[in-house]
Structure 1
Amino acid sequence: MTAAAESPAPAKSRVGQIPTRPASEPLSTGFADLDHLTAGGLRPGTLTVIASRPGIGRTTLLQDICRHNAIRHNRGTALWTLEEGPEDVVARLLSAEARVLRHQVLAGTIDEAGWERVSQRIKAVEDAPIVIDAPPSATAADIAAKAAELVAHHGVRLIAIDGIQDIRPERRNDLREREVGDVVRDLKTLARELQVPVAATAHLNRSPEKRIDKRPCLDDLRESGAITFAADLLILLHREDAYDPATPRAGEADLIVAKHRFGPEAVITVGFQGHYSRFLDIGTEPVLSRPDLGAGFASLFSGSEGVA
């Protein structure tokens, strides 16, 4: 694993060890039902957008997909984070892998049992072929130039970007919607040119909080309908326990596949452990219409510490 700041130069020496291999097959997300729905996962040349309100877990879900590919499958992964520092990303990865509380990782207050679990997983995290770039600001062109180098010469197969709306536009415009539209179209072009999947996160506006059930919809994407138009796969993330901690669905999250260019839309339920900075595959069947979601997994999964 490599953390990069302004330049990917330190990353090149690490990622150079990634074996180059054909990138024609989809990349698994780590969630069986989502992979089944998408015929294998994230397809090369496509743009996937994960959107939610703050504190629901879009950053966690994006990093779960990165963690699954880089740590579990040794696939070269490049992650740009415009909302966190590299040390925060590493803390999330280690928390999820070793099942220790993220704030304890950052504060260095892990107990003896936690250190035992860390010792078992830290080498896998350290050796993972993942580049973490956390610049204070970046344009889509900045990201594209570095991504092209990593894909062409170092075998990177997945590009992840945390914060579409945080990418600086190349050209200033009086309409924020046009600026975001230019950025998201550049990301789609990047995916098609490099023939790797690009996954990114986006903010939703406050409209879900005005609804009784708080469930998001496509119209809630903040500042740009261009995101809806350009994305091949658009996942709206929803957790009932973010609004009602006493819900029987505490510890569950819905991946609302609101747009799927190559297949059906669906709602997929996964487990959520916010205190460990991770979502979990609970292996339920995807629901192809609005579901009767029923009782939850409160006894198994709980906590929403520091979720983004």
Structure 2
Amino acid sequence: MELGVEAIGRVVSRLLGKTNAPVDRNMVIPTSLHDLDSLLAGGLRTGQTTVVAARSGDGASTFALGVARSAALHHQLPTVVIAPGAPESEVVMRLISAETHIPLQRLRRGDFDDSEAQRLREWEERITSKHLSVRAAKPPAGTLVDSVVAVMHEDDVRVVIVDSIATIGASAREDVASMAAWAREHHLALVLVTGALQPTTGEGGPPQLTELRDYDAVVDLVDAVLMLEQADPPQAIIHVVKHRYGPTGSVHVAHIAHCCSYANLP
């Protein structure tokens, strides 16, 4: 493969921190989980596709929403969450819970106290940030893949979260290949949420790459696979089981289930 002079100069200038470096559309998307970002050399990357998976109830959707929060609300990177299998109000409620640390059940009941109400008012501007868009309930543009491609054509979008790809069905390989190709072309960080199968033999243990739902269809098409495992509460483990451009490994984080979030351990 021949490397163009412009591409080489852009990367070298960025590495040297030159203030007049040509614009490089390849960006790092921090997850705000310090140990994970360290393992991933800063975080997720635009142009790459990451699969996030967990066994049922182990928090893959919570993690993906955390990526969206980190990118949009804490790093001002335009982000779209597509969640065709969930009501829009539920996705937004989980986002509010994670941002304000008000337990989700209290928000659902509307019985939070005065200090929590004040916290909610203080976070309102950030929660309604123009950098984050939630499109839930049903694919907004025909099929799920049509919706993802439509989003990728929008100006300035840098991160697209798809929760989940379970609805793709028999066309999973073709559809994931299309979405990954669009992500590379448009320099977007694409995060696809899916499930992990229960092990067919033995009990417990961390999830394995071969337990990935639709393993044969997607594993060679994506750049990274993160699989989540619940440990002794409140700990969880994030296993980086595939990383095309870096090391694999595992990191421990805190899973704050009642506030729909992951956080750094003290």
Structure 2 distance, partners of 1:69, 1:144, is 18
Give the equivalent residue in structure 1 for 2:39: 37
Give the equivalent residue in structure 1 for 2:218: 227
The answer to whether the 8 Å contact 1:232/1:260 transfers is: yes
Structure 2 distance, partners of 1:89, 1:135, is 10
Give the equivalent residue in structure 1 for 2:150: 146
The within-5 A match list for 1:76-91 is 76-91=78-93
Question: Any idea what SS the aligned residue of 2:213 has?
Answer: coil
Give the equivalent residue in structure 2 for 1:111: 113
Give the equivalent residue in structure 1 for 2:100: 98
Deviations 1:84-109, CA, capped at 9 Å, x for gaps: 11111111111011111112212222
The answer to whether the 8 Å contact 2:149/2:179 transfers is: no
Give the equivalent residue in structure 2 for 1:200: 192
How far 1:77 sits from its partner (Å)? 0.3
Structure 1 distance, partners of 2:31, 2:261, is 13
Give the equivalent residue in structure 1 for 2:8: none
RMSD between superposed Cα atoms in Å: 1.9
How far 1:140 sits from its partner (Å)? 4.5
Question: Any idea what SS the aligned residue of 1:207 has?
Answer: coil
TM-score, reference length from structure 1: 0.74
Identity %: 25
How far 1:128 sits from its partner (Å)? 4.4
The answer to whether the 8 Å contact 1:81/1:163 transfers is: yes
Structure 1 distance, partners of 2:257, 2:137, is 26
Going from structure 1 to structure 2, the CA distance change for 1:145 and 1:260 (only over 3 Å counts) comes to closer
The within-5 A match list for 1:228-267 is 228-240=219-231, 249-267=232-250
AA aligned opposite 1:159: V
Structure 1 distance, partners of 2:89, 2:183, is 27
Deviations 1:17-40, CA, capped at 9 Å, x for gaps: xxxx86322111111122122222
Aligned length: 242
Pairing 1:49–2:51 present: yes
Structure 1 distance, partners of 2:130, 2:108, is 20
Structure 1 distance, partners of 2:129, 2:45, is 25
**Runs ≥4 in structure 1, deviation > 6 angstroms?**
none
Question: Any idea what SS the aligned residue of 1:198 has?
Answer: strand
Give the equivalent residue in structure 1 for 2:257: 274
Question: Any idea what SS the aligned residue of 1:250 has?
Answer: coil
The answer to whether the 8 Å contact 1:23/1:157 transfers is: no
How far 1:149 sits from its partner (Å)? 2.6
The answer to whether the 8 Å contact 1:144/1:190 transfers is: no
Give the equivalent residue in structure 1 for 2:208: 217
Structure 2 distance, partners of 1:84, 1:47, is 22
Question: Any idea what SS the aligned residue of 1:238 has?
Answer: strand
How far 1:185 sits from its partner (Å)? 1.2
The answer to whether the 8 Å contact 1:82/1:163 transfers is: yes
AA aligned opposite 1:127: S
Give the equivalent residue in structure 2 for 1:162: 163
Deviations 1:273-304, CA, capped at 9 Å, x for gaps: 00010000227xxxxxxxxxxxxxxxxxxxxx
Structure 2 distance, partners of 1:124, 1:229, is 37
AA aligned opposite 2:212: L
How far 1:212 sits from its partner (Å)? 2.5
How far 1:43 sits from its partner (Å)? 1.3
Question: Any idea what SS the aligned residue of 1:84 has?
Answer: coil
Structure 1 distance, partners of 2:85, 2:97, is 18
The answer to whether the 8 Å contact 2:83/2:138 transfers is: no
The answer to whether the 8 Å contact 2:91/2:136 transfers is: no
Deviations 1:162-188, CA, capped at 9 Å, x for gaps: 111223x6xxxxxx3xx2212221221
Q: Structure 2: give runs of 5+ residues left out of the alignment.
A: 1-22
How far 1:215 sits from its partner (Å)? 1.9
Deviations 1:66-88, CA, capped at 9 Å, x for gaps: 00111111110011002211111
Q: Structure 1: give runs of 5+ residues left out of the alignment.
A: 1-20, 170-175, 241-248, 284-308
Question: Any idea what SS the aligned residue of 1:271 has?
Answer: strand
Pairing 1:25–2:27 present: yes
Deviations 1:142-161, CA, capped at 9 Å, x for gaps: 124322332xx2x1111110
